[in-house]
Amino acid sequence: MAADLTWLEQADLSRRNTLGLPGKARFLAVVRSEAALHEVLSSVPAARLPVTIWGGGSNIVLQGDVDGLVIVMAIAGIRVCSREGDDVLLAAGAGESWHGLTRTTLAMGLSGLENLSLIPGTVGAAPVQNIGAYGVEIKDVLASVRAWDRETSQWVTLSAADCGFAYRDSVFKSVAPGRYIITEVTFRLSASLQPTLRMGYGDIRQWHEQQGIVRPTANTVAQAVIAIRSSKLPDPARIGNAGSFFKNPVIPVAQADQLRQRFPALVGHVQPDGVKVAAGWLIEQAGWKGLRRGAVGVHDRQALVLVHEGGGRGSELLALAADIRASVHEMFGIELEQEPVILGRP
């Protein structure tokens, strides 16, 4: 067996999804190079069965066995492509840990990813979801994506514009799901650790004030983000979760104004297309924060996070999510949209 490819049958997926939900893959291939990916895609299972690309499993609700081929992207490597003054292009393999990449770039004296620190998952999955936090989305720092186009059977390089980024969305997720298999992502970063910092969030400013830091840097922003996320979000290694389970809904300004008459403390931020409302606040007001239902529940510090204590199934978590959505809609007239992807047979 080649060192860059591992084949498994009836592979356990419970340790490959951060919710820790049970399920098996009929076939599973761990690929560590583009050559290995090409070999897997040329195989009999890939020709006859549905193919699912798997990263860190941090954005998945597994509701049972996956009757197909799961390809785990484990392509590693981080390299500097070019430098022009403070502008640096840096490429990372799809299998690299996202948080590991943020730490590596800061250690290299590069800034741009600090607001996205401690987000779980892999580099290859990040553009699919257009991950974002504290005023930064991956679209703000992505230069290009290298991927295998399954429709044309050729390698392609997609620019940020080609990726069709939107809030927690991309061409990879909603326009052409399954068409592109990302193997490498290139980022446009800065060699200055004091760029125009995105300090718009009060929590980040407050952390710096508490630490007595007058001149923030990319490193201190990363420290702030890590501290804030650690205080609010559970560690998947200790309690099963997939991070934010629902998107923050964007509603018309008129609807937000009407809601504020009934709920003066409504948490929302004005956007070009309306008002982005904090989904966690809606869920908490509807009375779900800290609720437990058997093996699943709502985190007691962040209502946006659904948790799995162990021994449960994906169907239980999805039933809880459906009840939360119905409750929020009844109370506020707002439809919540789930972030994680549902995989496996019920």
Which is the catalytic residue, given 58, 111, 117, 244?
Answer: 244
Which distant-in-sequence residues (6+ apart) come within 8 Å of 238 by Cβ?
none
Residue 330 annotated as catalytic: no
Distance CA 236, CA 68 (A): 26
- Where do runs of H (alpha helix) occur along the chain? 34-41, 44-48, 98-107, 126-129, 202-211, 218-232, 253-262, 279-285, 314-332
- At residue 3, the pLDDT reads 85
Q: Which domains does the chain have, with CATH numbers?
A: 5-73 (3.30.43.10), 78-190 (3.30.465.10), 240-343 (3.90.78.10)
Which is the catalytic residue, given 16, 146, 168, 325?
Answer: 168
Closest to 276 measured CA to CA, from 114, 151, 163, 168: 168
Which is the catalytic residue, given 96, 114, 137, 339?
Answer: 339
- At residue 335, the pLDDT reads 97
Residue 301 annotated as catalytic: no
- At residue 198, the pLDDT reads 63
- Convert the pLDDT of each residue in 13-46 to its tens digit: 999 999 999 999 999 999 999 999 999 999 998 9
If one counts every other C-beta atom within 10 angstroms of the C-beta of residue 79, the result is: 11
> Is residue 2 scored above 90 in pLDDT?
no
- Convert the pLDDT of each residue in 166-209 to its tens digit: 989 999 999 999 999 999 999 999 997 655 556 656 788 889 99
> Is residue 215 scored above 90 in pLDDT?
no
pLDDT (average), residues 46-58: 94
- Convert the pLDDT of each residue in 230-283 to its tens digit: 998 899 989 999 999 999 999 999 999 999 999 999 999 898 889 999 999 999
Task: State pTM to two decimals.
Answer: 0.91
If one counts every other C-beta atom within 10 angstroms of the C-beta of residue 210, the result is: 10
- At residue 271, the pLDDT reads 87
Q: What percent of the chain has a predicted confidence (pLDDT) above 90?
A: 87
- At residue 197, the pLDDT reads 56
Residue 168 annotated as catalytic: yes
* Tokens 């709920």 -> residue: 263
